[in-house]
Amino acid sequence: MRPEWTMILCVKILIGEKTSRKSAKKTYFCKKIGDMVLIKKHCITIISGITLLFFACCDKPLQKHSVTGEAQGTYYSIIYFDSQNRDLSAEIDSILSDFDQTASLWVGNSLIRRINGNADSVLNELFCDMLDKSLRINRLTDGYFDCTVGKLVNAWGFGFKQGQDLDSATVDSLRQYTGLPLEIITHDGSKILRKARPETELDFNAIAQGYSVDIVANYLESKGITNYIIDIGGEVIAKGAKPDGSQWTVGVERPAESQFAERQLDIMVTLADQSIVTSGNYRKFYEKDGVKYSHTIDPHTGYPVNHSLLSVSVIADSAWKADAFATAFMAMGMEKALQYIENNDEIKAAYFIYNENGEYKTFATEEFKKNIVTQ
């Protein structure tokens, strides 16, 4: 059906008759021109303006699309609304597959695996940007975020390699390969990575998943899609709103008693052009000889963290940043994390769940409270 247009044009003009205000006559002319009605009102006045209103009913309805699949050893679930009704599932799957070829430690011939193996490898822009962001967060967090902990992560059994029995001497020997300078240099027109020690191994797991969320978001934006929610392994970004105007709403999980316990929500939050990422130790751990070992490694000690903080959720404008700071805050512990938030402007919205004398306790910063859905 063709759109119907209605135009109303109202004009006040000054006529040039030499007459007094008392003797001035008002003259009205009305002429229909197609679908436009022009009303011209002559009076002795000053031109005050023109108002032009167009009303059109030509927008196509937004069509909902859902895309699901697997990437980076986890799931992804994406919902977007598109007026052109395009199915972008194949393109999204290809984007995430290409990302794995760069940053996944679980892909045998990925770029990061080749670099860790000291094979001659040319860096792509994606790798360089991820490394640059990792080194920046490392500086901002005083080393609590560190992408050079690859050997320690594997040694503790949280990487793609089987863990080993560790004593303090072994941990100290592995720590000498962490926190060392990394430099991207250009050789014969190509970018390569120079490591201070060839034994240093990189691990982007604390930023890669969030980074991939942003990549998919950027792709949707490039297609003119501005209303969507992307969830990759629980790391979420939401833009725009639903067609009815309501905000996107996601849940923050309550810490589980075991790795296989049923998932329960602790709170619900709304997202308005924001990302949320939760880092926690309640599902990724193992027990040995009655001791529970967390997957979060403190780069300063080389050991899994051992404090009361169970999880931290961070809201930021990008998923990579929320991902990186959530990991850093878990490594710091709650007290140091809150000090960081108070003294820095990078992150202000965080939600902590911690154990106090065997009971779950929570704390939300003032900025995070703005997103909590109240009953």
pLDDT digits (tens, 9 = 90+) for 354-364: 989 888 899 99
CA dist list (Å): 28 to 6, 20, 78, 333, 351? 21, 19, 59, 78, 68
Q: Looking at the predicted structure, is the pLDDT value of residue 156 above 90?
A: no
pLDDT digits (tens, 9 = 90+) for 168-216: 999 999 999 999 999 999 989 999 999 999 999 999 999 999 999 999 9
- DSSP label at residue 145: S
Q: How far apart are CA 279 and CA 224, in angstroms?
A: 31
pLDDT digits (tens, 9 = 90+) for 28-70: 333 333 443 443 444 333 334 433 333 444 567 899 999 999 9
pLDDT digits (tens, 9 = 90+) for 83-121: 999 999 999 999 999 999 999 998 999 999 999 999 999
Beta carbons of 42 and 30 less than 8 angstroms apart: no
Torsion angle of the four alpha carbons 178, 181, 184, 186, in this order, in degrees rounded to the nearest 10: -130
Torsional sign, CA 29, 30, 33, 37: positive
Q: How far apart are CA 296 and CA 237, in angstroms?
A: 23
Q: What backbone torsions phi and psi does residue 119 show, to the nearest 5 degrees?
A: -80, 150
Beta carbons of 259 and 285 less than 8 angstroms apart: yes
Residue by residue, DSSP assigns 202-245 as ---TTTHHHHHHHHHHHHHHHTT---EEEEETTEEEEES--TTS
Assign 111 to helix, strand or coil.
helix
- Chain-centroid distance, C-alpha 360: 27
Closest CA to 202 of 272, 139, 153, 259: 153
